[in-house]
Each structure stands twice: as structure tokens, then as C-alpha cells.
């Protein structure tokens, strides 16, 4: 099990600052969402090599997966993102689904998503990169987002049937949407490539809300999961202090260190 931070953990600081902080804290990767905002990908790749830690996940361009009129634009965005990932040595691409379309049957929209991702799968397989579809909660943060429930999300992944199209399971979002996060996270572990964590309510660092992350992460670890767990959260205290607390109070008991 590896742990990552998300860009913005240190407000107003650039990617190099975040990477150096990762190294200082002994963490394993940085999630940098909008790779297209980086001014020079090859320079960032050299900085990653110098620092000894790099970007572990990025996003594809934010284009709806349920709108058939945007299919070619979505696929072109995935192609561009794959090329960026090759330069940056990134092996995970996060994708949201876009909002549900009014007046279009839900199954029709789901089928459009499945077919679009099926067309992306050979590109991802050839590159050795996993695209991760992310369900989001519609109650608090993302009203109208198409995929919200983990069971429906797994159904979509199973219909695509590619080892290079999986899920990012965000514990915060799924706690709001459906609860039952430990059972769902472990039951669907073979369809999950990556986890996001934050506490609820508030979406702040683990330990500030109702979620018992020692128990949740211990159960995930016991499945044999060896991928990334990303701190996608705000912080109620100084970021460095919060990370040290997280390592002491949650990571150490989970990993037995």
C-alpha cells in the first residue's frame, strides 16, 4: 500500500514544492489533476528524477462520457493524456463521467459510456496505463454526476472488460452516497486501482470526522491491495503537522510499523 498527496495540499505552492514535501515525508506519489497546465512536461520529468518521487496519477480532460456527441473529443483527450503520461512516467489516469443528461434514458447514457471506454481500452492496454473511472457523490459536492453508486460503477467496469479500465474508489464520496464503505471497498477490490480518502463531514484529513480509517485501510490492506491511497482532502491544521499525525495515528497501525 502506497500513499499519495494531491496538488493543493500546500496552498499556493507549485508542483516542485509538493514533490519535495512528498520526499521529506516519505510518501510515494503526487496526484496532479490537470497535466495540461504544466508548462514543460519534460522539465517536470527531470525534476521528478532529481527528487526521487513523481506524479502517480493525473486526470484526462474533463469531457462527458455519457454524451455521444462528445465521444471523439473524449477519446482524443485520452490519447493526449496517454502521451503526457509517457513523458511523466504516470500509470494512472482519473476520469469523471460528466453529469446525467436530462431527457435521455439512463441505460442509453450508460451504454454510451461503456462503448466509449471500450474504444479507449486498446490504447490504454498498449501503453500499460490504467484509466480509473471515479464515482462522485451527488448529495454534497457533485449534484447530477452520472456515476455515484459503487455497484453501478462496478457493473460499468465489468461491461468494458479490460484490465486497464478500473475504478478509483473515493471513501469520502461513497460514505455520503451509500455508506457500507469497508464491505464495498473489499468486495470490489479487483475492480479498484486506487483509493481516495478524506473524512466526513467536511472532507478534511482522516481523523477529523466519522470514518475509522485504521479499520478501513486495514481491511483494504488485508485484501492484498498494493496500489495508491491518496489524501484528497483539506486540512484543519498545518499540512506538515497533519501528515505527520496521519502517518503516526493511521498509517503506522495499518502497516504495523
- Model pLDDT, residue 134: 97
CB 54 within 8 A of CB 29: yes
pLDDT of residue 201: 97
Q: Which three cell numbers stand for residue 121?
A: 481500452
pLDDT reading at 199 higher than 90: yes
Phi-psi domain of 142 (left: phi exceeds 0; alpha: psi -120 through 50; beta: other): beta
Which of 256, 225, 169, 177 has the alpha carbon at shortest distance from 1? 225
Rg of the chain taking only CA atoms, in angstroms: 18
Helix (H, G, I), strand (E, B) or coil at 200: coil
Which candidate, 73, 63, 71, places its Cα nearest to that of 146? 63
- Span 226-230, mean pLDDT? 97
C-alpha cell at 31: 496526484
- Percentage of residues of the chain with pLDDT beyond 70: 100
Cα 24 to Cα 18, 27, 30, 39: the distances in Å are 10, 8, 13, 25
Structure confidence at residue 225 as a pLDDT band (50, 70, 90): very high
Domains, the chain: 2-255 (3.20.20.150)
As a whole number, mean pLDDT of residues 222-244 equals: 98
pLDDT of residue 83: 98
pLDDT in tens, 139-171: 999 999 999 999 999 999 999 999 999 999 999
pLDDT of residue 186: 98
Provide mean pLDDT across the span 129-133.
98
CA trace torsion 118, 119, 123, 128 (10° rounding): -10
230 burial (CB, 10 Å; 0-12 / 13-18 / 19+) is: buried
Residue 257 has pLDDT above 80, yes or no: no
Q: Would the pLDDT of 108 be above 90?
A: yes
Q: Find the mean pLDDT for residues 85-108.
A: 97
Residue 114 pLDDT exceeds 80? yes
**C-alpha to C-alpha distance for 195 and 169, rounded to whole angstroms:** 5
For the stretch 18-72, pLDDT in tens is 999 999 999 999 999 999 999 999 999 999 999 999 999 999 999 999 999 999 9
Task: Report the pLDDT value the prediction gives residue 106, as an integer from 0 to 100.
Answer: 97
Amino acid at each position: 500500500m502506497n500513499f499519495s498527496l494531491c496538488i493543493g495540499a500546500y496552498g499556493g505552492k507549485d508542483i516542485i514544492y509538493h514533490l519535495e514535501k512528498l520526499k521529506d515525508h516519505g510518501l510515494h506519489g503526487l496526484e496532479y489533476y490537470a497535466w495540461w497546465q504544466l508548462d514543460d512536461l519534460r522539465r517536470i520529468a527531470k525534476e521528478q528524477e532529481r527528487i526521487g518521487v513523481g506524479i502517480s496519477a493525473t486526470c484526462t480532460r474533463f469531457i462527458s462520457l455519457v454524451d455521444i456527441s462528445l465521444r471523439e473529443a473524449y477519446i482524443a483527450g485520452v490519447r493526449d493524456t496517454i502521451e503526457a503520461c509517457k513523458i511523466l512516467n504516470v500509470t494512472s489516469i482519473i476520469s469523471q463521467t460528466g453529469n446525467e443528461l436530462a431527457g435521455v434514458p439512463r441505460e442509453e447514457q450508460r451504454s454510451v459510456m461503456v462503448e466509449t471506454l471500450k474504444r479507449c481500452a486498446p490504447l490504454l492496454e498498449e501503453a500499460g496505463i490504467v484509466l480509473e473511472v471515479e464515482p462522485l457523490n451527488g448529495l454534497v459536492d457533485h449534484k447530477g454526476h452520472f456515476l455515484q453508486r459503487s455497484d453501478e460503477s462496478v457493473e460499468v467496469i465489468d461491461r468494458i472488460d479490460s484490465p486497464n479500465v478500473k475504478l478509483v474508489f473515493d471513501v469520502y464520496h461513497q460514505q455520503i452516497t451509500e455508506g457500507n464503505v469497508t464491505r464495498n471497498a473489499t468486495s470490489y477490490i479487483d475492480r479498484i486501482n486506487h483509493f481516495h480518502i478524506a473524512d466526513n463531514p467536511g472532507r478534511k484529513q482522516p481523523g477529523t470526522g466519522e470514518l475509522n480509517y485504521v479499520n478501513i485501510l486495514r481491511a483494504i490492506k488485508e485484501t492484498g491491495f498494493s496500489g495508491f491511497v491518496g489524501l484528497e482532502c483539506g486540512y484543519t491544521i498545518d499540512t506538515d503537522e497533519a501528515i505527520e499525525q496521519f502517518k503516526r495515528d493511521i498509517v503506522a497501525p495499518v502497516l504495523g510499523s
